[in-house]
Structure 1
């Protein structure tokens, strides 16, 4: 198609045809035609305008096509917050391929399951992260080609050599290719597959259509009051829905997203000042962490007026706002759904997620899907008015899809209370879920790693409460007859096999675990017992987990 200017001119001529279309190519074309010169995305080293993004999408699509990637193919992406991450996302969306962002902390069983389940024909990975893939059994894994993101040097050469020995072909990230015309897509075509961390079994690949992210961007920005010229700042990972949808907020509303590599407690307010952010995003533990730090001189020097803060306990919210001047709003959404419950600053009630948003329907029900009275806890079930505002299902898991969407409602697995005035309050998870450091941890996956140790006979993993308003991971274990196992030895065994946030903090060794008559472990009894004097605590040991 030629130069970026030519691509933008083509988009301008086509924009009127695409304005009602909620696919990524249509949204990029509309932004380029409407406000192409304004900045859209930055990783604090590189910045793109809306017009730049169209050219990047078209040329990265060309490079993907040259690799043999076609419409509907899956491309796995193991990468932190950097421009290359968004290049691959935009290139896939432009081509009609499906991007599969993977949590950069994924290891072992979880990572292997994701790669097998998604069937990606190409893996794009940061050089420093690719070792997690190369340690897996390559047999049966489709992504035989790996594009490496990172500076050329010894690390890249070593990764290429290791990849070759493991049965993969690894090459540096190719340069942008010849630009392609955007694929003609429908709102319901799959845009991404995002993996939940699994709460009671293997991680599920959530198939997210293009229009779902349009509605994420539209609805979330509405509650945050995002307007043209806003600077949205996130240090949350782009491989999660929260941060990825913030790009769509910026795209649709002529704003800019700045994505930092990671959260830094000591550098958070510096980043807000330096980026001139006006809107930001935090998760549950981030607020109490900041409140626990000494007051810094720059906490009032920023321009941020509001933050989306799901999961922040109500008693921390007013203290945070009073201290640093940033208004917080809560909300409810999941990878499978959208921004379905929320509030605006003037209507926000600490301790509550908010009210049902326009365009969605919700019920609080018992185990038979019958509504429970206001003020009584039950499972939250949801549906959307707009087509494809929710995910389409779970990849390769038809039974799980039918179970979750039974009776034509999405069953969240979350226990909530709806008050008579319409405000919703989160209570807990229906199933055995653990929420730690802003991540969902699958007890099943942690248990599988523990049970793979030759000294472990039985393992049960469950949540205990953290002082930071989230959960800590605790494991109760029974060793095989005649075996001994030091707690730190088991932690070191888990470390290369689990994401760092899933490695248990607490270990209890017992002669036996409480069970039902049919042999199932009664985790509720273990939770009730919780941490005792006999419990081993990783934090108290002085050992520090590696994060890569």
Structure 2
């Protein structure tokens, strides 16, 4: 019997009631032991080798006191040990709590305190930023052990255990653990662009669904090779790891996303598929033309967050077919997919509902919108277990998002008569200026078309008369001397007057989520730290 339905034909159910993520690993090791699951740093890891290493580590976790249902916080970089830890925690029946490696200070303290882990597993390089949170968790009685991944020359932080020793000391096999698709597998904190993070509870079936949606969207076939840069602490990284157990493909793992090295890595890997999120495609389009633009060998780019104009430009320049989808961690990653791309699908659309979901666009009263009318996207499950049951230890946030079996996403879109959905932006990312509703996404899309701009972010700031003014943050391309006045003049020719920003501030970098989305909650809403004030310039000009 097939592990999953690789084709969308045939109808529900799409998942087996007796299948789990640990079961997928065991099955792959038996059915294709010599298949190369992952390549990393010049080394090949087979399915049998993966299962053996995960088995050793899971036994070590059990020997260290980790039991079914315990939460284990993991702050590891993009390397092989992270892959092993990902599967070992699930095999022992514990709950994985991924931690963004960029976190520090209050954000990190909040996440560790909130999930109250029984164990923290981290690269030793993060020991300093973890010192306070780990001490607090240990003092509260929740944390029983700290495990550090060491590299050559590093000293073991105290108190703590070396990850290598945890595997080596596992002399007793892991006792039999009963797994169920309804088991809580992951608590994944949404990094978000506004507000405090919320811990999305992901069941085993949800983890499987993240992979199945990607398989359908990307036209994943046996023998495919995936360029694997996606952080494992994000749902996109997790889904790729599980996808490679469902379909006999090979992951070519690189340490991180690099726009300048991207196509070189793709060609060296012999990759057939590349994965994108957020602004990745835009960053690649900003790179200088190269002979690799058409000789990289990849055929499909799948993911989410590709605007219509970027879609066409990317396919034309790089000869790669875009497969666009949409979703959230709460909806097992993809809830809509456009697997036909711009050929059999609809250019610029996030597609139609994945078969195990219902997706609607509704008005403020929760009634379905007429075709072409914008509204909020909401999602309900057709097959049980593919939608989150809520946010960990956060009933208020759960009640706000889940109502009458529907998850209200906070995203604005419109649906056509064929069910294809066009995404417009976040509901909370809509600004109101002088009586006009303004989509930050629409303004940013125009600004980012400027040849000297790498990326931008628009926020609303309260002005001296209590109204909202538009403040634009801009990162210029290297070597650009673009000034605020020139940029505003350029904007005025391309957008309505009410959309043109008042304040311009140039920045060197943006703080981002793992999917390269700008975290706007960290942008300054001050009215006195700008590089250009259009209203002041206008007033001065009129005075003269």
1:130 corresponds in structure 2 to 127
Partner of residue 311 from structure 1, selected from 305, 312, 321: 305
1:281 corresponds in structure 2 to 275
2:375 is the counterpart of 1:378: yes
2:418 is the counterpart of 1:421: yes
Partner of residue 201 from structure 1, selected from 195, 208, 212: 195
Stretches of structure 1 lacking an aligned partner (at least 5 in a row): 1-17, 435-461, 479-490, 512-528, 536-548
2:163 is the counterpart of 1:173: yes
Q: Contact 1:22–1:214 (CA<8 Å) still a contact in 2?
A: no
1:343 corresponds in structure 2 to 338
Greater alpha carbon shift after TM alignment, 211-220 vs 344-353: 344-353
Q: CA deviation at 1:505?
A: 8.3
Instruction: Describe the shift of the 1:38–1:374 C-alpha distance in structure 2 as closer, same or farther (beyond 3 A).
Output: same
Instruction: Describe the shift of the 1:351–1:300 C-alpha distance in structure 2 as closer, same or farther (beyond 3 A).
Output: same
Quote the RMSD (CA, aligned, Å).
Answer: 3.4
* In 1, Cα distance between equivalents of 2:457 and 2:400: 28
Partner of residue 465 from structure 1, selected from 444, 455, 472: 444
Partner of residue 19 from structure 2, selected from 9, 19, 22: 22
Q: CA deviation at 1:355?
A: 1.4
Instruction: Describe the shift of the 1:506–1:51 C-alpha distance in structure 2 as closer, same or farther (beyond 3 A).
Output: closer
* In 1, Cα distance between equivalents of 2:292 and 2:107: 41
Q: CA deviation at 1:298?
A: 2.1
Q: CA deviation at 1:471?
A: 5.2
Q: Contact 1:340–1:356 (CA<8 Å) still a contact in 2?
A: yes
Q: CA deviation at 1:300?
A: 2.4
Q: CA deviation at 1:171?
A: 2.9
2:469 corresponds in structure 1 to none
Q: Contact 1:46–1:83 (CA<8 Å) still a contact in 2?
A: no
Q: Contact 2:17–2:181 (CA<8 Å) still a contact in 1?
A: no
Normalising by structure 1, we get a TM-score of 0.75
Partner of residue 245 from structure 1, selected from 239, 244, 252: 239
Instruction: Describe the shift of the 1:328–1:133 C-alpha distance in structure 2 as closer, same or farther (beyond 3 A).
Output: same
- 1:235-292 deviation line (CA, Å, top 9, x unaligned): 2211111121011111101112223221111100011011111111012322222222
SS at match of 1:373: coil
Instruction: Describe the shift of the 1:97–1:349 C-alpha distance in structure 2 as closer, same or farther (beyond 3 A).
Output: same
SS at match of 1:340: strand
- How many residue pairs end up in the alignment? 453
- 1:506-527 deviation line (CA, Å, top 9, x unaligned): 646448xxxxxxxxxxxxxxxx
* In 2, Cα distance between equivalents of 1:351 and 1:532: 34
2:289 corresponds in structure 1 to 295
1:183 corresponds in structure 2 to 177
* In 2, Cα distance between equivalents of 1:432 and 1:76: 31
Greater alpha carbon shift after TM alignment, 303-312 vs 410-419: 303-312
Q: Superposed, which structure 2 residues align to 1:409-448 within 5 Å?
A: 409-432=406-429
Instruction: Describe the shift of the 1:429–1:509 C-alpha distance in structure 2 as closer, same or farther (beyond 3 A).
Output: closer
- 1:98-157 deviation line (CA, Å, top 9, x unaligned): 11111111122221111111111111111222322124483345335321123132x435
